[in-house]
C-alpha cells in the first residue's frame, strides 16, 4: 500500500515538474564517460527524497530513486545509490559508470510526508564533456578564409559560367524569335504577292 501511494505522489510531482521551465535556473556539471558523479540535495527537516531525470532529447521525465525516512541503504540500484548520514541536512545521489544517456536535468524533491507539498532543490544539468565539445565544434562559426588571387579567379569563372549560360539561353530565344518572324514575314509577303498577281490577271 505504501508503494502504491508513493507512486501516485511521485507521478503528481512529475506532472508539476513537466509544466515548469527551469532552463534558466539550473546548475551545470560536466562528466566523463564511465566516470562517477555525486549530486547533492538539501534534506533539512524532510523525511522523503526523490530524484528525477529528464532526458535532453525526448524531454521524458523519469523517477530514478527515492528514500523514505532517510533509509538510504534500502533504496538503491546497480548504478545509483543515495548516500548520507541520519541527522545531517544533505544527502547525495551517486551515479557510477556514467553513460551518454545520463545527460540531462536532475531534480531532487523532498517533503515532510506523503501528503505534503514537495520542495525541489535547484535542478542540476549533467553534460558529457566529449559530447559538448562536438556540439561546440559544429555550432562555432568557421574561421575566416584567406582571399587570394586564385580564389577570386575561381569565383569570377563560376559567375561567368552561370551568367554565360543565361546569356546563351537569351540569345537562342532572340534568334528563334527573329527566325520565326522572318518566316512569317516571308509567307505573308508571298501570299500578298500571289494575291496581287491574281488581281492583275483578272483586270
Per-residue pLDDT of 28-59, as tens digits, reads 999 999 999 999 999 888 888 899 999 888 88
pLDDT of residue 74: 63
Measured CA to CA, the distance from residue 107 to residue 121 in angstroms comes to 7
Please enumerate in sequence order all residues whose Cβ is within 8 A of that of 83, keeping only pairs 6 or more positions apart, or say none.
Answer: 38, 72, 91, 92, 94
Same domain, 125 and 161: no
Please, are residues 61 and 76 in contact by the beta-carbon 8 Å criterion?
Answer: no
The 3-state DSSP composition of the chain as helix, strand, coil percent (nearest 5) reads 40, 25, 30
Q: Predicted confidence band at 72 (pLDDT cuts at 50, 70, 90)?
A: low
- Alpha-carbon distance of 203 to 190, in angstroms, equals 20
pLDDT of residue 18: 41
Do 40 and 102 lie in one domain? The reply is yes
| 117 shares its domain with 155 | no
Check whether residue 87 and residue 182 sit in a common domain: no
Domain match, 93 and 120 both: yes
Domain boundary among 88, 104, 130: 130
Q: Structural domain of residue 177, as residue ranges? A: 148-203
- In this structure, the answer to whether residues 14 and 109 fall within a common structural domain is yes
What is the maximum alpha-carbon separation in the chain? 133
- Same domain, residue pair 163 and 123: no
Q: Which of 96, 130, 164 is the last residue of a domain?
A: 130
Does residue 28 lie in a domain region?
A: yes
Both 34 and 125 in one domain: the answer is yes
> pLDDT tens digit string along 140-171?
333 333 434 443 444 444 444 434 444 544 45
- The domain that contains 86 carries what CATH number? 2.60.40.10
For residue 95, pLDDT beyond 80? yes
In a domain, 187, yes or no: yes
102: in domain:
yes
Residues 153 and 189 in one domain: yes
Opening angle at CA 103, ends 65 and 121, nearest 5: 55
**Residue 11 pLDDT greater than 80, yes or no:** no
Cα→Cα distances 31→28, 97, 99, 127, Å: 10, 10, 9, 6
| Same domain flag for 95 and 173 | no
Considering the domain architecture, whether residues 31 and 115 belong to the same structural domain is answered as yes
Residue-averaged pLDDT of the chain: 68
pLDDT for the residue 134: 46
For the segment 6-13, the average pLDDT, to the nearest whole number, is 46
pLDDT of residue 9: 45
| Euclidean distance between CA atoms 140 and 150, whole angstroms | 27
Number of independent structural domains in the chain: 2
pLDDT reported for residue 68 = 80
The reported pLDDT for the residue numbered 113 is: 83
Residue 197 binned pLDDT confidence (cut-offs 50, 70, 90): low
Amino acid at each position: 500500500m505504501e508503494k502504491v501511494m508513493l507512486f501516485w505522489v511521485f507521478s503528481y510531482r512529475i506532472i508539476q515538474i513537466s509544466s515548469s521551465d527551469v532552463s534558466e535556473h539550473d546548475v551545470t556539471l560536466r562528466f566523463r564517460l564511465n566516470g562517477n558523479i555525486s549530486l547533492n540535495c538539501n534534506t533539512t527537516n524532510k523525511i522523503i527524497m526523490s530524484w528525477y531525470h529528464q532526458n535532453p532529447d525526448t524531454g521524458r521525465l523519469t523517477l530514478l530513486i527515492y528514500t523514505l525516512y532517510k533509509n538510504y541503504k534500502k533504496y538503491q540500484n546497480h548504478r545509483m545509490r543515495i548516500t548520507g548520514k541520519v541527522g545531517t541536512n544533505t544527502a547525495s545521489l551517486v551515479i557510477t559508470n556514467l553513460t551518454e544517456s545520463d545527460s540531462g536535468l536532475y531534480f531532487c524533491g523532498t517533503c515532510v510526508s506523503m501528503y505534503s507539498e514537495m520542495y525541489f532543490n535547484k535542478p542540476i544539468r549533467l553534460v558529457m564533456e566529449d559530447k559538448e565539445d562536438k556540439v561546440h565544434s559544429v555550432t562555432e562559426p568557421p574561421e575566416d578564409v584567406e582571399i587570394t588571387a586564385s580564389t577570386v579567379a575561381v569565383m569570377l569563372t563560376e559567375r561567368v559560367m552561370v551568367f554565360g549560360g543565361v546569356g546563351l539561353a537569351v540569345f537562342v530565344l532572340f534568334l528563334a524569335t527573329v527566325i520565326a518572324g522572318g518566316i512569317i514575314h516571308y509567307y505573308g509577303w508571298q501570299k500578298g504577292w500571289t494575291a496581287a498577281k491574281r488581281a492583275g490577271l483578272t483586270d
